Structure 1
């Protein structure tokens, strides 16, 4: 029996975090896709035997660790816990089971001890391609967006599922890259399973359920104490976004009552016809936004959500009906900003102005002599400023996806990076300035037209400042000098043609 004093709790907690960190190191080193290796579009976590989040890799994309527990629980419910065996790896990319969108694949491995499941390790990464429109926002239902894999066993009792691999490979443009990423997820989980087993072997008295209870209870107490410091009341805000077929607005109201809180998105725009809707990312980014405001110093786990109720109207942009297109769920990235706006008066030292972008995505696809290729490139706008902190230039917020390096851009696709520079002064003015965006010029060096998909935000609606700070500069997207008519759309990129991107600046904080 473990004696749970503060030192013991901290040691066990940090050892579990190190498991997730080591899993991520494996995933980063073995993934085939540049969006994983270079842009950090991944997450790793250890979950309890019930599928509750226990610890996460510290640089995980926040939305993933906000959704992974629900996805793992849904997969286990679908497949049946009694059907799981040592050596199994289960996976899905389906939003119906709480996954973010089709390009992201969630894989989980049960950890067995004495014949029973004592934990799960899970990892998520963004695949290079998933068929269909893949990254495109212009699909009008889930069936257009790509290949949907319901919960399956990727590996069964240590043996890879050859049929699942054949079906997946037959539905994507770059099967070698996609299967390479699948194998990277499997490898990360295998290491996680070994590390959890070794932790238990090193301490015969350690009960993971007991450890999880202490860890999550500590987080819950800290979050409740933080909420209790906020005066009871109703706090509301809204934020405008470019949308697709029409502008969209996210509306939030926060009710604080004692040491608990209710977050309600009633009034948010109706769901889109196109793929900018958000399902599970709504909950993931609500969780992350509140973690930053309430207990930013604590590692994330299930205890953080116990004092918080989240309500999202069905049929809205943030909770679309089943089979709605969700691949380009950029609106969810604005949730932490709107939560900051709502709580700015009561948490002035913790809120921040809106970011210029989560990140802009350019998907480039085509054919070379060696076969088809698909490349995803990420370019960030400026971070929003906060009290005492100017926003950083070209830093993705709230998603921590990194800019794609020039060398990777040019090695992944027949593209020349003609120029790349920070747009000085594009961050919003204020006592603390918003972060600047960047300007990137790309020239096609292919001998045939390329298929290019854009995912952008804040071209029509700049990132708003906070507490008297100024708005950031809006983004610009041009091809051969002309504005792109649909900046969340698709073009045929002619040989020698030039794309110019100017990502938005972040909002400033405080009046000068």
Structure 2
């Protein structure tokens, strides 16, 4: 491109793309109002965010968010900024490429040492997959434009010395002022696809007993939240299974009078019929014939029904 158009032209168009993105975000900001939101997580920590609109710009302030934790739910500052970028990009109706120009109208304040800007040696492995989802929901709540989606990736892993497998499981998306949420969909900070059951059962000693929409799990409202799913995996060999999930205690919120979505639930059905409840974040030893059951959360509703 440089050989054909010259360096100055290429650099100019790179700047044009960013300038266009900046202007698109500024236009989207003009229809927003100030807002704030407190988002409680299952472990009792909270994400506090306020959004103040001024002169086609926005100040996004996370002051009041819980301090960094000894757990691994801390989210690096880069993750927090990426979520802010994502949320404001979704508010732009124009078809623009995602780029740094989208951030120019935004001032992001994240106190050092908090859950979203931890200091070394904070553990952060779950901050990317779980806390990022919470940040997105909190921002949409502060802006008042979208009820909570399932707010978790439902990270499910299993394996032994021979096999290792990892998947994220879809759930319900939140409703908005003019639309219902969607059933059984990956939302916000994940876009991963699920392995086909035929491939999963061919390559691993497991059976997919059920993968179905969890009817009635979305929050009701003028516009209803999407439903989560039910996923049952039956093990044919002894393995270690682990689940990293959220919204097992706190329901995904509704907005403007809409009802909250149902919480998720995890449990193991042993081959002898015994039911073992499993927390949102746990590791379980699975034996042949055992079934790991995951019910994912529904999305929140929007408006009084």
Give the TM-score normalised by structure 1: 0.55
Structure-1 separation of matches of 2:174 and 2:282 = 26
Structure-1 separation of matches of 2:7 and 2:252 = 52
Task: Say yes or no: does 1:362 pair with 2:156.
Answer: yes
Aligned to 2:104: 306
The structural deviation recorded for 1:303 is 0.7
Query: Once structures 1 and 2 are overlaid, which stretch shifts more, 425-434 or 396-405?
Result: 396-405
Q: Secondary structure at the match of 1:428?
A: coil
Matches within 5 A, 1:132-151: none
Task: Say yes or no: does 1:490 pair with 2:288.
Answer: no
Structure-2 separation of matches of 1:339 and 1:300 = 18
Structure-2 separation of matches of 1:414 and 1:206 = 58
Aligned to 1:429: 220
1:292-315: CA deviations, max 9, x gaps? Answer: 225564221111101111111122
Aligned to 2:196: 405
Task: Say yes or no: does 1:394 pair with 2:184.
Answer: yes
Q: Which has the higher helix share?
A: 1
Task: Say yes or no: does 1:207 pair with 2:1.
Answer: no
Change (3 A) 1:411 1:490: same
Task: Say yes or no: does 1:325 pair with 2:116.
Answer: no
Task: Say yes or no: does 1:511 pair with 2:300.
Answer: no
> Which of 242, 251, 258 is matched with 2:48 structurally?
251
The structural deviation recorded for 1:320 is 1.2
Moved over 4 A (4+): 199-206
Matches within 5 A, 1:172-183: none
Task: Say yes or no: does 1:463 pair with 2:240.
Answer: no
Aligned to 2:26: 224
RMSD, aligned α-carbons: 1.9
Structure-2 separation of matches of 1:404 and 1:462 = 28
Paired residues of 1:227 and 1:258 also in contact (CA < 8 A): no
Change (3 A) 1:235 1:366: same
> Which of 35, 59, 64 is matched with 1:262 structurally?
59
Change (3 A) 1:328 1:296: farther
Report which structure shows greater RCO (CA 8 Å, sep ≥6): 2
Aligned to 1:379: 169
Structure-1 separation of matches of 2:143 and 2:94 = 15
Structure-1 separation of matches of 2:99 and 2:70 = 34
Aligned to 2:242: 453
Q: Secondary structure at the match of 1:328?
A: helix
Aligned to 1:31: none
Aligned to 2:272: none
> Which of 261, 270, 293 is matched with 1:500 structurally?
293
Matches within 5 A, 1:23-172: none
Change (3 A) 1:389 1:408: farther
Paired residues of 1:289 and 1:335 also in contact (CA < 8 A): no
Unpaired runs of 5+ in structure 1? 1-198, 345-350
Structure-2 separation of matches of 1:294 and 1:320 = 30
Aligned to 1:472: 261
Structure-2 separation of matches of 1:235 and 1:272 = 27
Larger Rg: 1
1:84-132: CA deviations, max 9, x gaps? Answer: xxxxxxxxxxxxxxxxxxxxxxxxxxxxxxxxxxxxxxxxxxxxxxxxx
Paired residues of 2:152 and 2:245 also in contact (CA < 8 A): no
Structure-2 separation of matches of 1:507 and 1:303 = 31
Give the TM-score normalised by structure 2: 0.91
Q: Secondary structure at the match of 1:419?
A: strand
Aligned to 2:235: 444
